[in-house]
A and B are shown apart, each in its own frame.
Chain A
Amino acid sequence: MAFVRRWKGTGVFLGTELRMTLHDPLAIASSALVEGILLVFVWVLARDLLPFALLGSLVYSLFLIGQYVLSEAAYIRIDHRLNEMYHASPLSPEAYFLGMASGIGIGYVPTTLALFVLALVVVPMTAAGFVAILGVLLAVWTISASIAYTISTLFKDMKAIWPWASLIANVLGVVPPVFYPLDRWPVEWRSLALVLPTSGGAALAEAAAGILPLAQDEVVLAATALGLEALVAFAFTVWWSHRSAREA
């Protein structure tokens, strides 16, 4: 009963955030710009890498959800001061966080869906591979949304948020092997790439689609890292959402 009460309101807040997101079609359209540019580069200059870039863009599109969660959580708290009202209401902090992350995640589904269709056209995959990729995407979304929500509570000024959110998203999305194959990344840093949520997720998705040969221990490393990061990030954010929930 207590568990149900804790998460009560998630659905309603999900609906609120979904409506907010869908009211901004321009933002949805512009959400895939960096992926779009990198895909164009690959298509023009190295077409043989397109399958890797498409699966990477899929992972990256879910990772970017964190950027929107960060902006939205901060916008509601700093600009609108609405979270004081939410925290004074029966809505629990974790339902507020999960509802927001889910609503934004669903709102940006068109971008992910378009990339998924493109990926399916270019990379035929088995049902098991498809399910594995869905699992990877879910884990990446959980990590990115959780970390973003936590970070959003640390800011006091809206102007400072955009550069940091953009910095984290671009550096973790473009530098490690997300849009290009893992074998073009320095061998000595291969383990690092496998434990990062973006490149580890992309490597797992590519292995699941059968285009990237990964050793068994590498699959275990990447999958364990991704699963643990998702679990820890989510659990920490639920705890932190309580700790940081307060009226101004």
Chain B
Amino acid sequence: MAGEAAMPRAGRILPAWGLIGWRWISRNPAAAIVPVLLPFLFLYFLRIISPPEYFPLAVAGAMLYTTQNVGSWCLMDAAVNRIELHLQELFVASPLGKVRYLFGVAISNLIPAVPAIVVQGILLALLMPVPLLTWAVLAGCIFVIWILFSAIGIAISTRILSQREVWPIGNLVFSVLGILAPIYYPLAILPPAWQAVARVLPSTYAAQLVQGSLGLIPITAEEMALDAVLLVVSAVIGIAVALSIYRWREP
């Protein structure tokens, strides 16, 4: 009983996960660069093909897309931990709960994405003046998208049976979600059916908020407030669904 009382109940688990994320960058520079390279390649491509007035919107979209991709890396990491390394059994047997494990994996995968998001932020600031309030909106949207997509990634990872499924499932889910939401282009230019589908996705409201606060799309303050509410509501629903399919147990 005394021994149990002496057992630490709280530790520095989240910084430890952050350290794991940092080690990933420092030990595998190529592996750290490649996942964040794709949004930049998309930006380069959009710069060439799309009207110039859409470019700031695409840069802001790249920040959301990079954040959204963290979910895909969480899926891969959590699946490797469980299937290949059998580490999840160890975590389940430890005092670490499933929500703290989720946040830990999410933090460790956010670390490699941060430099890319910062560079995209600098690029955005060079392209147009960004008010302080807009940075706050952008940061808030990035935070919500990070939590939501990390939860989705980890939840899906617990249902994957083999290592071979990890890459295609992760890519399929996150690329489709990333491209359906109008983060690289305004919602208004999409066909009506696509707009209807996009309105189910939380990223759509994050994109609307960011684009609206940057003054890149015509939107009223009331509409932005509604978008903020819908972003939070859809994210809460998304996280609840993710937690319901999230399997936390020893095999």
Mark A residues whose CB is within 8 Å of B. 24, 26-27, 29-30, 33-34, 36-38, 40-42, 44-46, 49, 159-160, 162-164, 166-167, 170-171, 174-175, 179-180, 184
Contacts and interface: CB of A to CB of B under 8 A. Distances in A.
Given A163-B31, A167-B33, A175 B41 contact: yes
B171 interface: yes
Contacts of A46: 49-50
Contacts of B172: 26, 29-30, 33
A36 B175 contact: yes
B37 A41 contact: no
Nearest to A28: B168
Given A27-B164, A29-B168, A166 B49 contact: no
Residue of B44, B46, B49, B178 contacting most chain A CB atoms (<10 Å): B49
Given A167-B30, A167-B33, A44 B46 contact: no
B190 A44 contact: yes
Nearest to B34: A163
B45 A30 contact: no
B184 interface: yes
28 contacts: A26-B169, A26-B172, A27-B168, A29-B172, A30-B171, A30-B172, A33-B175, A34-B38, A36-B179, A37-B175, A38-B45, A40-B179, A41-B45, A44-B190, A45-B51, A45-B185, A160-B31, A162-B167, A163-B28, A167-B33, A167-B37, A170-B38, A170-B41, A174-B41, A174-B44, A174-B45, A184-B48, A184-B49
Given A159-B28, A163-B31, A167-B37, A41 B168 contact: no
A184 B47 CA distance: 11
Given A170-B41, A175-B41, A180 B175 contact: no
A38 B175 CA distance: 11
Contacts of A174: 41-42, 44-45
A40 B191 CA distance: 12
Contact of A37 (B164, B165, B179): B179
B141 to A, nearest CB: 21
A41 B41 contact: no
Interface string B180-215: 000011000110000000000000000000000000
Contacts of B45: 38, 41, 174, 179-180
B54 interface: yes
A36 B184 CA distance: 15
B49 A41 contact: yes
A175 B46 CA distance: 11
Contacts of B171: 30, 33
Contact of B31 (A30, A33, A159): A159
A45 B28 CA distance: 36
B31 A45 contact: no
A220 B241 CA distance: 58
A167 to B, nearest CB: 5
Given A45-B49, A167-B37, A26 B31 contact: no
Nearest to A49: B49
Contact of B184 (A26, A41, A179): A41
A179 B46 CA distance: 11
A30 B46 contact: no
A134 to B, nearest CB: 27
B49 A180 contact: yes
